Chains A and B, each alone.
Chain A
Amino acid sequence: MFIVCLLFSAMQATASDRCTDEVFLRRAYLTVTGALPTPNQCVEFLDESNPNKREVLIDQLLESELGLKYMQMRWGDILRIKSEFPSNLWPNGVQAYNRWIYEQLLHNVPYDKMVRGLLLSSGSNFRAPAANFYRGFQNKSAKNFYANINLLFLGNRNCTDNGHICFSQIKFKSTKEWKEEIVYLDIHKKVPYQDIELEDYTIIKLRADSDWREGYVSWLTSSKNRRFAEVMVNRMWYWVFGRGIVHEPDDWSASNKPSDPELLGELTDYFLEHNFDMRALMKKILLSEQFNAKMAPEGGYVPQRLPAEVIVDAIASVTGVWSTYSSRVPEPFTFYPPKTRATHLGDATVSSSELELFGKVSRDVSLESQRNNSITSRQLLYLMNSSVLERRIRKSPVLQRIYVNSGSLEQIADKITLLTLSRRATAAEKELYKEYMEQTELSLMDVAVDIMWMQINSNEFLYNH
C-alpha cells in the first residue's frame, strides 16, 4: 500500500523524474515480452531521434509474437493450464487451449467477449478449446466452478449467493478417443423453483430447455457491472507493476480498499470507453507517468525481481546456451524444439530445476500470489556457483564471438553490457574492469567470463528496474 501511494505521488512528478531511454527500453521489453532486447534493438532504439519513440516501441511490442506469447503465459497462469495434476488437461488439451488464448490476444478480442467465450463454452476438449475451462478442475462441481469464476473475474474469494445453480447443467462424457472428453449441458434439467438472486440483488431467471449460464454471464460481462472491468484493470496494473491498486489483485473484499480509487476509476472509465480493449488498456498503463518514472524503491518505479521464466530465458539469451525442455506426459514424450523459451512452454507440468528454483508458477490455483518473485539465498547460490551456469558462461558461443570480434577490453565490456544490461558500459565501469584485469592478472577471455558472471549476478540484471 505504501509503495503504491508513492507510485501515485510519482504520477504528479515532473518530466525530470522520467527514466532514461535505456532504462525504459529494458523495462518495456521485460514487461511486455518477458525477454531482454537484443543488442541491435538496444542500439536502434537509443539512436532513434523520433520524440514519440517510446509509444512507437510500445505499439510494436504489444503486437509482437513475443508480446502475445508472454501475455498468453499470464493467462495460462490464472487459468491453470497444465497437462497433469491438478488441472489434468492433457497435452492435446493444453495445446488447443493455449492456441485459443493466443488467438484471442492476436485479434485483441475484447475482454468481455473473451470471458463469454470461456464461460459459455461446451464441446470436446480437443475441438472446442475453451471448454477446457471447465475440464481443468479436480473438483468438477457447480459450486467449485462458480467459486473460481468469482475469484477470476470479480476478485471475490468468498461467494455466498446461489449463482452456482447457473452452472449446474454442466456434464462431462468421454469419447472413444484417448483422453477426449465432451463438456455438455443437461438442458432438460428441472428448473429450480425459485429464481437466482445474486449478492447485488440482481435476479437471474432460469428457463427450461436453455443454457442457464447465459443469464449469469450476460450480467457478469455487462459494462454496467463495473466490478468486472475494475478487476481486469487492476490485474493489468498488477501484471505491469507487480502490485495491484487493490492488492492482492484477487481479493476485492470490502475491507481491502484500493490504494488510489481515483486512478482505478480513471483507468476503468478508459477501459469501458474503449469497449474492453485490453491492448489499449495495457498501452495506457505503459504510457503512464508511473511506468515512465525513474526507478526508486521509494517514490518511483519499484524494481521487481524478474519472474522465474524470464530469468532463465535471459540467462539463456545472454550466454546463447538454451535449456532443453521435454514433457513426460504422455508416452511418447514430447521434446520441445531447441531454443524454446521458458515463457513459451505453455504447460506448468513442463519444468526444470532452475525454473523450480526461481519459482515458476505451478498453476495449482488461480491466485496471482502463486508467483513468488522474492529473491532467496538459494537462488543467489545458483547464480554465484552453479557448475551448470559456469559452463554456460565459459562455453558461451556469444561470449566467444564477442571475444574474437573485439580488439580491446573496452569493446568487450561494451558488448557484454549491451547484451546483459541493455546499455553501454560507463567510463567508470571500463576503468573498473581494467583495474580488475591488472590486479588479477587473468587472461582477457577469463576477464570477459568474469564480467559476464558479475553482470548476471548483479541487481541490475536480476531486477526489472
Chain B
Amino acid sequence: MRRIYLTLTLLLAICFAADAQRAKSVILVYLDGGPAQTDTFDPKPEMGRNYHGSYSGVCKTNVEGIEIGEKLPLLASMADKYTLIRSLTHGSNAHETGHYAMITGDTSGGAVVYPSFGAVISYMKRDSYKGILPSYISVTSANSRFNEGGFLGNEYKSFDTGGKPEAEEYEVEGVVNRSVDRKRMDQRVALLDKFENKPMAKQTLDSLRDVNMEFIWGDTREIFNLSTEPDSVRARYGKSRLGQSCLVARRLVEAGVPFVNVRTTGWDTHKKHFQKMNTMLPDLDRALSALLADLDARGLLDSTIVLCGGEFGRSPKVLWEAPWNGGRAHFGAAFSYLVAGGGFHGGKVVGKSDKTGEKVAERPVSPCDLIGTVYLLMGIDPYGTLPHVSEGELPILPSLLDEKKSNGLLYEIIDIKAPRHEK
C-alpha cells in the first residue's frame, strides 16, 4: 500500500514538473508607495467628484464590459492580454506591512520573517537556472523596507543594477563601468595577482574573480546595452526611468532571468495626487503596454508572468481637506493588480469591489493567493516547504494553509492545478 502511494506521489510529482510549468520568468512592475486602484484598474466614474476626483471618464477596453482609468488608453487597447484582479485585500495601511504582505505573501505578526517571492523563486531555481546573470534582478533597486532574503539569507537577495536605464549609457553596478576599459582592468587584475602572495582565502577569491571577468566582459554586458535597441522601440517604452526599466526587464527575460523586479517609486501621493497622476499614469500606460506588446510579439508572453501593482491601493475617497488638498491615503482593504502572461488568462476580471470601492464585494483575493498562483505557474509547489536555519522546514506560504487568511488560488484564470490541494 505504502509503495503504491509512493509511486503515485512520484508519478504525480513528475506529471506536475512536466506539465505544470507554463512560466519561465516573472516581471514584477512594482508601483512602490501604492497606486490608486480607482484611477487605474478599477474606476468608479459614477461616484462623483469626491471619489473620482479629476478623472470623471473611463477608457473602454477592447474586451466587452471591461473599463479602466481614463489615463490608460494604450493598456485599454489590449485588455485581452491581461486580467485585472479588483479584489486584492490585506487590510494593512502601513507601508512596511503592506510591502511585506505583497512581496512575501505572508502576514506580519509571526516570529519568522519570510523571504520575498523573488528570493523564493531564485532559491527554487538554484539548480535549474544556469545563466551567468543573477536569478533575481532588480531594476534599479529592490525595496529595502524589510529583509528581502528573509530566512533564506543573503544569497537569494536581489541583485540591484543601480544606474540610470534612461541615461545615455546605463551603468550597471559591477558590470558596466564607463571609466574602466578592458585593458585597464586587465592591468589592475595583473597587479593584484602579483601583490597577493598571502594565504588568505586566495584561491577562492581568484576563481570568483575569474568568473567576474567573464561576467563583466562577456555577452552579459551587451544585455544591459540599450543602445542596440532601435530608437523606435526605446521611444515606444517611453524614455523615462520606468519605460527604459521595462525594456531592460524584457531583455533580461530574453536572457532567461527567472525574476525581474522593476520597482518604480513616487506612488505615495498623499498630496497633489492628480497633478502627479497626470504625468505618472501616461508613463505607466506607455511602459506597461509596450512591455506586454513586445513580449507578445516575441512569443515570450506565454512564458513570462507580468504583474503590476503596489503594496496597497489608495483611498477611493479623495481627501480634499487641508493638509492633503486633493490627495489619497493608504488603502489596504480593497485594491487592484494587473496579471498577464505565463499561463494567466487574458481578458478577464477577478473579483469586484463595492460601489464606492472601499470594500471587496466579491471573491476576495489575499496576497498569498496571488503569489501562490505565481509559484504554481512557475512550477513551484505552493504547498511545499522552505528550509529555515533553526525551525526546520517551513511552509512556503503559511497563509495559504489557513482558511482565515487565504481565499484560494486563482484557479479561475489558470489552467493547471496544484499537485496537492488545500489540506
Contact = CB atoms under 8 A, between A and B. Distances in A.
Interface of A: 84-86, 88, 137-139, 144, 157, 295-297, 303, 328-329, 349, 351, 353, 356-357, 359, 362, 364-365, 367, 369, 372, 375-378, 380-382, 384-388, 390-391, 394, 429, 432, 436, 439-440, 442, 450-451, 453-455, 457-460, 463, 465
A386 B110 CA distance: 38
Interface in B165-221: 171, 173-180, 184-185, 187-189, 191-192, 194-196, 198-202, 204-205, 208-209, 211-212, 215-216
Contacts of A394: 179
Contacts of B389: 367, 369
B25 to A, nearest CB: 20
B144 interface: yes
B192 A458 contact: yes
Nearest to B158: A356
B111 A388 contact: no
Given A84-B146, A375-B208, A364 B113 contact: yes
Contact of A157 (B97, B155, B390): B390
A385 B175 contact: yes
Contacts of A297: 199-201
A342 to B, nearest CB: 14
A255 B387 CA distance: 21
Nearest to B134: A378
A84 B196 CA distance: 42
A372 B177 contact: no
A139 B109 contact: yes
Given A138-B110, A359-B154, A375-B204, A384 B187 contact: no
Contacts of A139: 109-111
Contacts of B191: 432, 436, 450-451, 454
Nearest to A463: B200
Contact of B173 (A296, A387, A440): A387
A385 B161 CA distance: 12
Contact of B146 (A86, A359, A367, A386): A86
Given A85-B100, A139-B111, A297-B199, A450 B177 contact: no
Nearest to B145: A84
A465 B173 contact: no
A296 B200 CA distance: 8
B402 interface: no
Contacts of B215: 377, 381
A465 B200 contact: yes
A139 B208 CA distance: 41
A459 B108 contact: no
B407 interface: no
Contacts of A359: 154
B96 interface: yes
| Most chain B beta carbons < 10 A, residue from A357, A372, A439, A454 | A454
B131 interface: no
A460 B197 CA distance: 10
Contacts of B189: 384
A353 B161 CA distance: 10
B173 A460 contact: no
B159 interface: yes
Nearest to A381: B174
A86 to B, nearest CB: 6
Contacts of A387: 163, 171, 173, 176-179
Contacts of B192: 454, 457-458
Contact of A381 (B146, B175, B390): B175
B96 A84 contact: yes
B141 A436 contact: no
A385 B187 contact: no
Interface in B30-61: none
B135 to A, nearest CB: 12
A378 B174 contact: yes
Nearest to B215: A381
Nearest to A83: B96
A4 B109 CA distance: 39
Contacts of B381: none
25 contacts: A85-B100, A85-B113, A86-B108, A139-B109, A139-B111, A328-B145, A356-B144, A362-B146, A362-B147, A364-B113, A364-B147, A376-B154, A376-B208, A377-B211, A384-B185, A385-B175, A386-B173, A387-B176, A388-B162, A390-B177, A391-B179, A394-B179, A429-B195, A432-B195, A459-B200
Contacts of A391: 179
Nearest to A369: B389
Contacts of A388: 162, 173
Contacts of A329: 96
A378 B188 CA distance: 18
B358 interface: no
B148 interface: yes
A257 B157 CA distance: 33
A356 B212 contact: no
A349 B143 CA distance: 11
Contacts of A364: 113, 147, 150-151
Given A458-B195, A459-B201, A85 B162 contact: no
Contact of A380 (B96, B100, B212): B212
A353 B390 contact: no
B294 interface: no
A375 B154 CA distance: 11
Contacts of B188: 450, 453-454, 457
A138 B216 CA distance: 43
A97 to B, nearest CB: 18
B202 A459 contact: yes
B201 A384 contact: no
A396 to B, nearest CB: 13
Nearest to A363: B147
A351 B96 CA distance: 14
A381 B212 contact: yes
In this complex, which of B113, B174, B175, B389 has the most chain A Cβ atoms within 10 angstroms of its Cβ?
Answer: B174
Contacts of A436: 187, 191
A429 B198 CA distance: 13
Nearest to B199: A297
B160 interface: yes
B395 interface: no
Interface centre among A349, A381, A432, A439 (most CB of B within 10 A): A381
Given A328-B145, A386-B177, 5 more contacts: A356-B157, A381-B175, A382-B173, A385-B180, A450-B188
Of all A-B residue pairs in the complex, the 8 with the closest CB atoms, nearest first, are: A362-B147, A381-B174, A364-B113, A459-B200, A377-B208, A84-B96, A387-B177, A387-B171
Interface string B380-397: 000000000110000000
A317 to B, nearest CB: 21
A409 to B, nearest CB: 13
